[in-house]
Structure 1
């Protein structure tokens, strides 16, 4: 059992370069509205310097001596530039250029509003002091009280014996009291000294010094510590430090101490370049994990970059390296989840013109938990050319690829592959239907360096395969009356004939080729395999039919598709020639259904049925009840037989059912629950239950998670202990809005927090 308490009081938040700080609210009842000074508003857009602005005063009674003092009584209103003051009484000393006001006093400018018992303002220096003040920052939920509030000549605020909150006045769930607060209007940051945080009027935290944002600007400083406790990691304490290096660079360094494992160090550096390129660099390190006997140093390196050099050139890079296969299972990394087992390393540069493009790419994929690694692409050069309407509506395209396949293990075969694929296409698209005729010539040359004992492979292979594809589709529609409503029904039959020539390819190794799935849309592909190492011969006809129902508002309420491939000849090309495969006269019968059943009920289903063996190859179904955007009940089932387990190279049958619920208990309390059960193993594979409470100024989430663990064999570290099959945990997350937190906890991430993320079964209507 893992128990974790996360206190998310981020005092110096890390914003992305495009982020804005929005203090989230739960509705109009959360809005904090300051009083308005009852004075005539003026246009501030072209207002000159306050020092040069004339003073305007209105009152019911006035006693004045020219060049000396003037006393105003009764609904006094004062304005100077963007500043406005209203009070019951005011005295203007013209000699000292000082204004004193009291009685129902309201002070306003473009940045804040203050009510106070009294005010003393110096006109020449634009300074003011207010006693017994209440203040509101415009554009924010921040407001509070102060014994003394001083407005400096730079329009900054200095508050003493003060407090602030983002809660409505009648629902002050949290309050930060301080001896002194300075709010810099230019930098838009607040500095706080001798602060005490109260929750439900109970003091829970003392902070000698802190800063908080009052806008979207970033600032260097310590982030609030994160404290947690678990049976696997022990007592955890993380104290991040954020360094706002410049508008284009920032860095976050997080020492994370775990009593059961040691000191875990995390660093994230982000950068912008000319506003067109951006990236980040992450380094994580845990030396000598105390939890694991004989553990080496555990680490992660990650770099990603993307952007445009100019109008034509684009660059992209992504590189991740970890010390061991179970790094993401054991440590709270910022880069990947525990269910991710593939590390992609890609570097690419591309050039684009109107009719052609060129790219150069290197690629390496590290699959965690497997001994046999995929091939590396070092490098791959692509040139693609497309010219539309070269002659009588004919389109011409040319795709070329030059790829060098290498491997980390020198005992593996390597190869260089050149592929040239010219094509002529005749596309005809009309409202009543479409027709496409396409002819390709697939030319491939391999130069292979044979290191294995596979005597079937050849040093050099030249392959030329013709391909012809003809695809036609018709669109019919009619009005119908069904279920006491008027609908528009469409009928969309389509046929495709595909011919691909045969050539013996047993002399070619497998470098980037795998079997493709045959869902309904996959029936109309022109390839059976990904990659180019195997191009299956074909002489086949694919038929498909789709029907849809549209309501009177033209919203799609029903869609059903059914299709199958009829083989005129058996395909002779297989991935593994040593395996004798049954060659049926037709493919699986693939069907898909999306339906708005009734009112708030939605159904989605897909099936692949083997008509020769009379058994199901794959099926899934989901039924949703969604009466509103924040209410959901989903029941689902999926079945996949003979699924290959890459860790054991054995096949397993997957038959799982699931239940997912997301429902508001009231306006502030939300419930989310997931449950998935393995019918074959007769055990639960994941259970998630979460309660989230959100008010105007704080949010909390309590959740329980039980799930099967993703454990991999650590081939390089055989001394590492055996791992538990399941893990469970209780988590508490807490966010105080307005102390620099990232806003409320989201219900959407609760739906996706687990092994099985939520997917709408019907995308036709939200």
Structure 2
């Protein structure tokens, strides 16, 4: 009985073992590693005599970083070759190769691919026969090339033969550009880059259309001069203006130092017919083309020992050039073109600099007017200290020494005259007109004699010394008081007048008191939670000038010194020309805040967020109010007593989906508000809407504002983002257009349309705009992705360049 049970158990165990063995044999695939080649397949047979290996079914081969798949394969170990058939795929870290058949020399990594393609990133070559002649180099017959991800490709180039090096260039013979497989253009020979590194070559052409220039074609060429410098050379042909040569040269001197030079030259046929120019030209020159040019240069050089050299050059052949080509000079609407060079050196305790500034006066009607009346600063020397404690005390001192030479090519003073009503002061001219420069027959005149009662001194030298002493202290936590004592001594040397040497001295005291009230909100328990800090900061600053030593001098005008309407928030304007206090060199010649109390209140919210293990702080909102009271105004003998200044409000909010920066200036005695405000809302897709308002009144103390002379511009902007098209536009509406210089309700406008065909491989950008007082311009650009790196779309800030 026991023997019978033992036989039954043994029989069942044998059946179970056999079933397990069959199952394992069915699931197990042959695998081998021969001569460093790891092979696996459903079926594998090795012929040791001929040194071959036959494989079929789910073939996987790994050798020297390459992963090979195929339906059938033969490996010839003696000749180091592999013959691969059916759905062949070879993948390494750089490329992916697919084909119907591939004959590969796996030792030299060369071979032939039939009816397949090679892809690196988004760059792909396909053809009937591809010859792999190196690790990343291929020869392709009857080839197609594209960098598009869609199929069929949005664009492609086909050619009779292609030599391509991944990470280098592709050389295509008889290249045909195809858009959605439709032939568009033929090139006998084409070279395209297959890498994102800088390389020389032609860039895609651009097209423009304008009222004056007509149809315009431009062809840029990129020149990779060296690892630290390159240039873009552009030939730009205007239908009506002529051919313009343009250059942009860029260089890097070190990690912190760089420079850019932009220039262009054009023999402008259209400008030769321009009435703005011909009104100021003689009869024989009217209508003749004019050679025009511009130069813009920016340079920053950080040298050893904290020495920095800077240069800024802005020059043009004529004053109309920045208006005709506003995106070349970047000076459209400016009153002057500034040219400046400087060298600075900073140490732990001091700052030293030498500076020179040359200005081109653009407020002239004659486009080719000379620049004799512009005042320059050359040289300007500065030496100052940082704020330092006196010994171990809480006293802090600071001093600044500054020398400037003000010069110009013309006379050192301006001969001036008044209109019959005595309200308007203007430069003397042979037409006796305030706006004489608009009339080509009028010219500035000099009588050869300086009249101190009316003429303006425009050149001279100024040496200014300003030491200061501080003593900050705290009454309690969050309550700070900072008293300051300033002394100032200024020496002048003028080139005209009876008193050419002059000294002014004064003492200024101020005390600042500030309190901080704060609270923290949010999750105060979780260590890395998002929190918000709200601060309310009231501040009072009292400034007084108890002692002034300043004798009467024509340079400072004829009015009583204690009635000069200067505060630290007053700007220099045309009104200073007719003021009894005259027009000095710059703002530093004024004695402001002689007896002033300034009140301020700041609210701000700061957000603290954790990014990984690091906290990030961002001020997301602030509201600041400022207003001053001038005590000295009560002592004035004239009728203009307006002790309260404008009430300034600054709102700055920077949230994820909402932003605004707004400045409001309310003038209590005129009852008007100057406004500069922008509000933007956006979503995570990049779509946005924006509204802006600029409202400015001309404010003259003691006088009512003239409503008709106000500037009141409304700006509306919006942007739409989608997978295949980006749209953004902006329009500036002048609500006071009847009184405006150009007299049109729409002051300026622009829109940008970016078309993104399927495949993420090119952009078509259409820009149309009209700046204030300018003409309509249309630009069309094509940006192809040759290296597989898609071009990013334009950001909303791209509209800012059209807002002038």
Question: What TM bracket, shorter-length normalisation?
Answer: 0.7 to 0.9
Number of the residue aligned with 2:298: 304
Out of 727, 733, 739, the position equivalent to 1:677 is: 733
Maintained 8 Å contact 1:289/1:298: no
Give the superposed CA RMSD: 3.9
Confirm or deny: 8 A CA contact 1:468 1:499 kept in the other structure.
yes
In the alignment, the residues of structure 2 paired with residue 279 and residue 697 of structure 1 have an alpha-carbon distance, to the nearest angstrom, of: 31
Confirm whether residue 64 of structure 1 aligns to residue 65 of structure 2: no
SS in 2 for 1:299: strand
SS at match of 2:134: coil
| Correspondence for 2:625 | 562
Deviation (angstroms), 1:39: 14
**2:149 maps to which residue?**
168
- Report the counterpart of residue 434 of structure 1 in structure 2: 480
Structure 2 residues not aligned, in runs of 5+: 1-28, 273-286, 365-370, 414-457, 523-530, 558-564, 572-583, 610-616, 701-707, 739-744
- Match 1:194 to one of 146, 165, 174: 174
Q: 1:595 to 1:69 in 2, by over 3 A?
A: closer
Q: Which of 187, 200, 205 is the equivalent residue of 1:225?
A: 205
Instruction: Answer with 1 or 2: which has the greater Rg.
Output: 2
Deviation at 1:83, TM superposition (A): 2.3
Alignment of 1:114 onto 2:162: no
Select between 311-320 and 340-349 the one with higher mean Cα deviation: 340-349
SS of 2:322's partner is: helix
Kindly state the Cα deviation for residue 632 of structure 1 after the two structures are TM-superposed: 2.4
Which of the numbers 80, 105, 110 marks the counterpart of 1:97? 80
In structure 2, how many angstroms separate the alpha carbons of the residues matched to 1:165 and 1:57?
Answer: 34
| 2:755 pairs with 1:699 | no
Post-superposition CA distance 1:342-398 (Å, at most 9, x none): 422111111121111211111112232337754212111111112522241222212
Would the alpha carbon gap of residues 747 and 491 (structure 1) be closer, same or farther in structure 2, given more than 3 Å must change? closer
1:753 is displaced (CA, Å) by 4.2
Q: Deviations over 1:396-416 (max 9, x none)?
A: 212111222211224444222
- SS class of match (2:632): coil
1:619-641: CA deviation from partner (whole Å, max 9, x where unpaired):
24444443546232233333211
Label 1:702 to 1:225 Cα distance change in 2 as closer, same or farther (>3 A): closer
Distance 1:704 1:219, change over 3 A: closer
Aligned-partner SS, 2:290: coil
- 1:376 and 2:404 matched: no
Q: Distance in 1 between matches of 2:251 and 2:30?
A: 47
TM-score, scaled relative to structure 2 = 0.74
Equivalent residue in structure 2 for 1:654, among 702, 711, 717? 711
Work out whether residues 670 and 692 of structure 1, in 8 Å CA contact, stay in contact via their aligned partners in 2.
yes
The offset of 1:275, in angstroms, is 4.4
Rounded Cα–Cα distance in structure 2 between residues aligned with 1:169 and 1:469: 70
Select the structure with the greater relative contact order (CA < 8 A; seq sep ≥ 6). 1
Per the alignment, do residues 337 and 442 of structure 1 end up closer, same or farther by CA in structure 2, a change over 3 Å counting? closer
Unaligned segments of structure 1, at least 5 residues: 1-37, 43-51, 521-527, 574-579, 645-650, 710-725, 757-766
**Range with greater deviation from structure 2 (552-561 or 166-175):** 552-561
SS of the residue aligned with 2:589? coil
Cα distance in structure 2, aligned partners of 1:304 and 1:488: 41
What is aligned with 1:722? none
Q: Residue 540 of structure 1 corresponds to which residue in structure 2?
A: 596
Residue 186 (structure 2) aligned to one of 189, 202, 206: 206
SS of equivalent to 2:318:
coil
Cα distance change of structure 1 residues 252 and 588 upon mapping to structure 2, 3 Å threshold: closer
Q: CA 1:690–1:402 in 2, change beyond 3 Å: closer, same or farther?
A: closer
The structural deviation recorded for 1:538 is: 0.6
Q: Is the 8 A contact 2:82 2:106 kept in 1?
A: yes
Q: Tell me, what secondary structure is at the counterpart of 1:215?
A: coil
SS at match of 2:319: coil
Do the aligned partners of residues 295 and 504 (structure 1) sit closer, same or farther apart at CA in structure 2, a change above 3 Å counting?
Answer: farther
Instruction: Tell whether the 8 Å contact from 1:737 to 1:744 is kept in structure 2 after alignment.
Output: no
Residue among 486, 501, 515 paired with 1:460: 501
Question: What TM-score do the two structures reach when normalised by structure 1?
Answer: 0.77
Q: Structure 2 vs 1, CA of residues 620 and 459 (structure 1 numbering), >3 Å: closer, same or farther?
A: same
- Residues 135 and 703 from structure 1, CA distance in 2 versus in 1: closer, same or farther, beyond 3 angstroms? same
1:316 aligns with 2:310: yes
- Alpha-carbon distance change, 753 to 629 in structure 1, aligned in 2, over 3 angstroms: farther
Q: CA deviation at 1:472?
A: 0.9
- Residues 39 and 78 in structure 1, CA contact (< 8 A), matched pair in contact too: no
Q: Is the 8 A contact 1:643 1:653 kept in 2?
A: no
What is the count of residue pairs matched by the alignment?
Answer: 659
1:95-136: per-residue Cα shift (whole Å, max 9, x none)?
333221111111122210011111112244332221111222
83, 86, 109: which one aligns with 1:126: 109
